[in-house]
Structures are given as structure tokens and as C-alpha cells.
Amino acid sequence: MCDRGAEFGTTTGRRRRCGWFDAVIGRYAVRINGMDCLAITKLDVLDTLEELKVCVAYEINGQRCEDFPSNSRRFAQCKPIYKTLPGWQQSTVHCRTLEDLPKQALAYLKFLAELMEVPIALVSLGASRDQTIIVEDPIHGPKRALLDANGIPVTSG
């Protein structure tokens, strides 16, 4: 993921630590920062993977914990509990709408939105401005491009 996503420090060139999406810490960040939507960037980095993992909970001393620990000592004891999702193994760089995305990519985005308990407003698929899908414009109001119960994009008026 580091190489494909060009995740290297700008000044030092040092490799950044990259890993699977951690929904526990993400949900905590949403709550304490009052976020009402998310931007998912570099979705194209996942295009070649057979499967994806998402951390949905932590194991702490043999117990499942779905909330972010309240102190650093407990956090240091956390082991991630992953849910594995199928990858899409096809390029998304030319997708310009939700409808253009592979079914598995759409399912992944829907899963993240459900876990994070906020909608996804933007999805980027590359470095160019035109490689950004605006699902729901957080500045100028929603376009109302939403997903139905089956993960299919629908437009409501």
C-alpha cells in the first residue's frame, strides 16, 4: 500500500506507516470532532487487492471492545479484530460517479459509512481534481446521491 499510494514523507522521503482502516478509532474521531460526513481518499490504492480488512473492534484481555479505550495503557493492550471484505481487482481511476464503481468498491464504502455512522461525502480515486466523486457536497448542500439497502446508488429529489 505504501508504494502504490506514494506514502513517503515529503521532506525526509521516509516510508509512512500504512495499514487497514481502523473503524474504532475512526468512529471515536467522528464523535469527538463532531464530523457529519467523511472523505475517503486514495480508494484506487486498493484496486489490485483480492481482499480488504477493516478493524471493526479490539480485543483487550480476551474481551471484545467496540469503543476506543479511555486510557493509553488499555490502548496499548488492544489487538485488532478484522472483518475481511472482497476486493474488486479492477481499476477505479476512470470512475466519475458512484454508478461507475465496481460493486465490491461500493459495498466497501457503504460498510465504512455504516461503521462510522456518518455518510461519505467525497471519494477520491487519484491525484487529479476530476478523479473525485462528490457524493454529498458538505459545503453547498447534498446532491442526494445515496445508497439504498442493496448498496445501489439512488437519487432522491
Residue 46 CA to residue 50 CA, distance in Å, equals 9
Interior angle at CA 123, CA 141 and CA 47, nearest 5? 165
Q: Identify which of 100, 59, 106, 68 has the alpha carbon closest to the alpha carbon of residue 85.
A: 106
Burial class from Cβ neighbours inside 10 Å (0-12, 13-18, 19+) for residue 73 reads: exposed
Annotated binding site for GTP: 16, 42-44, 124-126
CB atoms within 10 A of CB 5: 14
Annotated binding site for IMP: 14
DSSP code string of 129-146: GGGEEESSBTTTB---EE
Annotated binding site for substrate: 10-16
Annotated binding site: 10-16, 42-44, 124-126
